[in-house]
A and B are shown apart, each in its own frame.
Chain A
Amino acid sequence: MAMDRRAFLKIAGLTALVGVGGKAGFELLAPGAVDAAEKNVPLTAAKKWGMAVDVQLLDDAVMEKCVEACHVHNNVPHFPDPKEEIKWIWKDTYEHVFPGNENEYLAESFEEKHFLVLCNHCTNPPCCRVCPTKATWKREDGIVMMDMHRCIGCRFCMAACPYGARSFNWSDPRKAPQELNPNFPTNREFPTRSKGVVEKCTFCAERLAKGQFPACVEAGNRVKPGVLVFGDLDDPKSEVRAVLRERYSIRRKPELGTGPNIYYMI
């Protein structure tokens, strides 16, 4: 077919117009708008999710609420044998949480005090470096995530984690003793795990995707507002950065270079 220059330019122009009307056009005019509409959720994308724990507000009652909320939401089973224990979030003593910092003349209030500990969602996570299948990896928003479909249960990550934040399923969580786990699985919208995989805190990634706070943060703040401050550590305007700017805070084993993202405001 013979086509002169004029006809070609007309067709090319029309094609470009149709293109602008499509997704590409939207992207040019408002970047991300199409994806946001498709996702149909508030965009919660952060660069570095992190948490600040207000140690002064922290007491055993609050911690128990946080632990319970987490374990109910994530279907975490309870086993009587400490060797089989599954821990996503738990409480521990000062010398276990901050080893090397204890001293003879430690303030009395800290001697008996418990601290809330969970996965630190490290900036430089050693667990992800050793995972042979990339079943655990660092997401772009900073969460150290687990892919249970891919975990082969080698437990390298458990050896690598200096915080003991990872637990192995030695047996099927659904066979956990009934009397300790009434109504298990407690959250029927969330899976359990199977025998032979490692599990850990995920910062409730599926709640974040809906624009909700992690279960522990929601439960803790209901009892003591401000006890757990969750937010984007990369955003100077975030609430977590605001509290960290005002209060002195410490982290667990920062000398190891893992870059933990849970801050304890003393």
Chain B
Amino acid sequence: MYDGGKIITGLVVGVGLLLFPVFYNAGKAAKAPDPVLTEKAKAAKQCVEATSYMKSDHMKLLDEWRHEVVRSDERYYKSSSGKVYYKGLQTTCMDCHSNKSKFCDQCHNYVAVDPYCWDCHIAPEENQ
């Protein structure tokens, strides 16, 4: 191999540069933000379904809701606890979770998802 020393040095430096961010940030992962509950949400104790289900599947539930409301005009949701809720992002979800920036946005930003709900649906006014 001609210029073997230079090539290997170059490779080592190149790979080193490539991996630098990995080692530099190792162990410093940004902590996942915890959604902040409003007083009203705390008082209600439980969302329309169990917290673990809401954490993992709220997007599926919202997708089902919008489909059922718009396409089938089924506007009431009977939760597994037996309580009946009006299906509505603006009117039901955000009535309790009126702190969109602390409840929705910070997690969505963390996982880099950009749901387009708010292009049409009106976010609650936050006073802070």
Interface size on B, residues (CB 8 A): 16
Within the complex, the shortest CB–CB distance from B55 to chain A, in Å, comes to 23
CA distance A3 to B64 in the complex (A): 45
- Which of A40, A149, A188, A205 is close to B90, meaning CB atoms less than 8 Å apart? A188
Asked whether A39 lies within 8 Å of B75 as measured between CB atoms, the reply is yes
Chain B positions within 8 Å of A194 at CB level: 116, 119-120
Asked whether A147 lies within 8 Å of B122 as measured between CB atoms, the reply is no
Asked whether B90 lies within 8 Å of A147 as measured between CB atoms, the reply is no
> Given that A147-B70, A149-B66 are contacting pairs, would A39 and B76 also be in contact in the complex, using a CB cutoff of 8 Å?
yes
Q: Mark B89-128, 1 if CB is under 8 A from A, else 0.
A: 0110000000000000000000000001001111000000
> Is B31 among interface residues, defined by CB-CB distance under 8 A?
no
By secondary structure, the B interface counts as mixed
Asked whether A191 lies within 8 Å of B121 as measured between CB atoms, the reply is yes
Size category of the A interface is 20 to 34
Q: Mark B55-91, 1 if CB is under 8 A from A, else 0.
A: 0000000000010001101111010000010000011
Chain A positions within 8 Å of B70 at CB level: 145, 147-149
Chain A positions within 8 Å of B66 at CB level: 149
CA distance A40 to B84 in the complex (A): 8
**Residues A41-74 near B (CB distance < 8 A):** 41
Smallest CB gap from B78: residue in A: A38
Interface, chain A (partner B; CB < 8 A): 38-41, 137, 139, 141, 145, 147-149, 172, 185, 188-195, 205-206, 209
Interface, chain B (partner A; CB < 8 A): 66, 70-71, 73-76, 78, 84, 90-91, 116, 119-122
21 A-B residue pairs with CB within 8 Å: A38-B76, A38-B78, A38-B84, A39-B74, A39-B75, A40-B76, A41-B75, A137-B71, A149-B66, A172-B119, A188-B90, A188-B122, A189-B90, A189-B91, A192-B122, A193-B120, A194-B116, A194-B119, A195-B119, A206-B75, A209-B73
